[in-house]
Amino acid sequence: MYKPESYEFFCPIKFSSGSRALENIPFELEALSARKPLIITDKNVTRRGLVRKMITAFKDSGVTIGIFDGIPDVPDMQLVTELSNIYRNGEHDAIIALGCGSIVDVAKVVNIAVSYNVKILRDLAGDNLMAHPLGPFVLVPTLTGTGYETSKFTFIEDLTFSSYFLMPDLVVIDSRTVRSESLQTTVATAMVALAHAAEAYTGPGKNPITDAYAYAAIQYVKDNLITVLTKPRNKEGRLALVNAAGMAGCAFSNMKPGLIHILGEAISAMFHIASGICMGILLPYGLEYTIQKNGYHTYDLLLPLSGFDEYAGTAENLKAEKAVNIMYEMQQDLYKVTGKKIPRTLEEANVPKYMVNDIAEKVFKDGAREFGIDDYRMVLEHAWEGKPMAHS
Amino acid sequence: MGDYREVQAGSKPFKRAYIAVMLWFVGRAIQAAARVDKAVREEFEKLPEGFTFSLGVQPHGPYMIVGKNQKGRVKYLGWKPESKVVDLRMAIKNIEAALLLFTFQESTAISICRDRIDFDGDLPPALTVIRAIGIVEVYLLPKLISKLAIKRYPVWSFGRKYLGRIRIYFHSILGY
């Protein structure tokens, strides 16, 4: 087993997962000294009946809940100010984000605003600029994650906040709230988790604790994604995928972003494709690059992907290649199972070939200098054509 | 502000009532079993005199409080934990978790493993109390149901099982 020379790992999150996990929230809030939470969500979540389920879960607790369900797809700072006023005027003492993506981004920024001061919010954007912990923050994710929900990051407008204080105090994963919205959102949630976990498991920042989180996340995605897509009512499978997203987020908070993440986010921003879909396309190519470049532990990835028997039965020098092949097979399976709705290549995702160079340059200019521009270009070109690097 | 509203969480009166009755009866049955059954008596002998424990549902009950008095007798002390010094608090995290436990869909051991019960107190007395409750469940419930509630169904003599059951029900109903 890999023993790093030195490492650090931090994760303050308590997970509560299961078929009746929502009902634990009042108990856990009391442990966090909170009595009047503000639930932040959007109209879509309300329409799907999840807010009603949340209210039912609070029955018998004697708690008064504030509910704000007006989070738009692209939130702004004005909304943060409005929500901060609601929080203060309503004398709330905890935030519950019900949903994923922009809902969680706004909830995290509102937590900064009410714990500090909304006027100095912009000054706190950046890396580790918050000096003290924030108010109690509970996350109840759906199956529409972006990979950042349990992480130390949040984004609003052009601002990026990064602090361990932004990680939720409690993540409640309940099979009633993790319903699939569409094939695409399910795949995107799972693939961003798989990409983050695979990069944590194979990257240079690898350590025994990120390994534990990443291993479970990889295994959960591999074992459950296709099942959930073919049987969307499979509760255990959905629960496993959202658990994987949560665990991958914790691992991701303790590592430097890898090549797959960096390129995936860039393509997502430039072409408005879900970052999980982009990372799903890039995953095998990024891993092949990792093998070629430094060979960091990619062979170990075979264990969570294939199980003990296949791992033990594969020669050491073939393990990494086999792990990457499983990723390629997974891409093909997703393509077939979703009726060709999930692209396997950047070409299928409608990214123009002439833009490959622009993406590489943009990523490099934006400051992601851990990798060379040629490295970015090479991975992008292969991912555009769908041509494995090992065969080039 | 149009997207904001405040909601007062309601209550679950029927579920609460069911759990209250179950806790009331189990509390009295523990008192009775400590008189009738040697194994339960021996379990409670390990606990210090004056030791009191509560089992209830967070945050507002219902509860049962059972204690051992200065004479070493185990007594059901009612359902109000207020104004009582409790050495061991066993708090079921919510009414749904309590229902799983008291409708025997989940055994006590599994419920604890799934973190549905929060313990505030020392571990050895907590385990003693759990073992005693397990024996009481064997007395109170038919084999088919109590097999779901405990780890392993014990092999008891006819006399211990059926005469003990009659005596415990008798004492529980009469409350002594």
Q: Tell me the per-residue pLDDT of A154-168, one tens digit each, with 9 for 90 and over.
A: 999 888 999 999 999
From residue A1, how far is each of A4, A92, A206, A207, A348 by CA, in Å? 10, 47, 11, 10, 39
pLDDT averaged over chain B? 90
Q: Is residue B4 part of a domain?
A: no
What's the rounded mean pLDDT across residues A62-74? 92
Note whether B82 contacts A: Cβ–Cβ < 8 A: no
Which of A139-148, A324-333, B31-40: highest mean pLDDT? A324-333
Give A171's strand partners.
Answer: A15, A139
For residue A233, pLDDT beyond 90: no
Q: Tell me the per-residue pLDDT of B50-100, one tens digit each, with 9 for 90 and over.
A: 999 999 998 888 999 999 988 888 999 988 888 888 999 999 999 999 999
Q: How many structural domains comprise chain B?
A: 1
Q: Tell me the per-residue pLDDT of A177-214, one tens digit each, with 9 for 90 and over.
A: 887 778 899 999 999 999 999 999 998 888 999 999 99
User: What one-letter code names the amino acid at A235?
Assistant: K
Note whether B20 contacts A: Cβ–Cβ < 8 A: no
Please tell me the distance from the alpha carbon of residue B8 to that of residue A367, in angstroms, as a whole number: 49
The pLDDT confidence band at residue A382, using thresholds 50, 70 and 90, is very high
Structure tokens at B3: 């997207």
Q: Enumerate the CATH 3.40.50.1970 domain ranges in chain A, comma separated.
A: 14-174
Q: Enumerate the CATH 1.20.1090.10 domain ranges in chain A, comma separated.
A: 201-391
Q: Tell me the per-residue pLDDT of A18-28, one tens digit each, with 9 for 90 and over.
A: 988 999 999 99
Percent of chain A topping pLDDT 70? 98
From residue A16, how far is each of A19, A25, B32, B38, B77 by CA, in Å? 10, 9, 37, 40, 33
* Residue in chain A nearest B10 by alpha carbon: A59
Q: Is residue B7 part of a domain?
A: no
Structure tokens at A304: 């969570």
- Give per-residue burial for A133-146: e unless 16+ CB within 10 Å, then b: ebbbbbbbbbbbbb
Topology classification of domain A201-391: Dehydroquinate synthase-like, alpha domain (1.20.1090)
Q: Tell me the per-residue pLDDT of B107-119, one tens digit each, with 9 for 90 and over.
A: 888 999 999 999 9
The pLDDT confidence band at residue A2, using thresholds 50, 70 and 90, is confident
pLDDT score recorded for residue B1: 57
Instruction: Give me the residue from A20, A23, A59 closest to B10, CB to CB.
Output: A59
The pLDDT confidence band at residue B127, using thresholds 50, 70 and 90, is very high
How distant is the Cα of B54 from the closest Cα of chain A, in angstroms?
Answer: 17
For residue B133, pLDDT beyond 80: yes
For residue A391, pLDDT beyond 60: no
pLDDT score recorded for residue B152: 86
pLDDT score recorded for residue A272: 93
Note whether A136 contacts B: Cβ–Cβ < 8 A: no
In this structure, are residues A145 and A100 in contact, taking their beta carbons and an 8 Å threshold? Answer: yes
CB contact under 8 A, A66 and B94: no
Please tell me the distance from the alpha carbon of residue B148 to that of residue B150, in angstroms, as a whole number: 6
Name every chain A residue with its beta carbon within 8 A of the beta carbon of B9: 55, 58-65
In this structure, are residues A25 and A56 in contact, taking their beta carbons and an 8 Å threshold? Answer: no
Give B55's strand partners.
Answer: B64, B90
Instruction: Give me the residue from B2, B10, B96 closest to A20, CB to CB.
Output: B96
pLDDT score recorded for residue A390: 67
Q: Indicate the burial class of A231 (C-beta count within 10 angstroms; 0-12, 13-18, 19 or more).
A: exposed
What's the rounded mean pLDDT across residues A273-282? 95
Name every chain B residue with its beta carbon within 8 A of the beta carbon of A88: none
Percent of chain B topping pLDDT 70? 98
For residue B2, pLDDT beyond 90: no
The strand pair at B117-120 and A64-68 is best described as: unpaired
Note whether A77 contacts B: Cβ–Cβ < 8 A: no
Q: Tell me the per-residue pLDDT of A80-121, one tens digit each, with 9 for 90 and over.
A: 999 999 999 999 999 999 999 899 999 999 999 999 876 778
Domain holding B100, by residue range, is 13-170
For residue A387, pLDDT beyond 80: yes
CB contact under 8 A, B9 and A90: no
Chain A residues 259-288 within an 8 A CB cutoff of chain B: none
pLDDT score recorded for residue B174: 83
Pick the CATH number of A14-174 from 3.40.50.2300, 3.40.50.1970, 3.10.580.10, 1.20.120.420: 3.40.50.1970
**Of A211, A202, A315, whose CA–CA distance to A260 is shortest?**
A202
Q: Tell me the per-residue pLDDT of A219-229, one tens digit each, with 9 for 90 and over.
A: 999 999 999 99
What's the rounded mean pLDDT across residues A269-286? 94
Instruction: Give me the residue from B4, B15, B16 closest to A66, CB to CB.
Output: B4
Instruction: Give me the residue from A23, A30, A59 closest to B97, CB to CB.
Output: A23
Q: What is the CATH number of the domain that holds B81?
A: 3.30.1050.10
Residue A38, phi then psi, degrees to nearest 5: -110, 120
Residues with Cβ within 8 Å of residue A122, at least 6 apart in sequence: A159
Instruction: Give me the residue from A16, A18, A60 closest to B12, CB to CB.
Output: A60
pLDDT score recorded for residue A23: 94
Note whether B14 contacts A: Cβ–Cβ < 8 A: no
For residue A295, pLDDT beyond 70: no
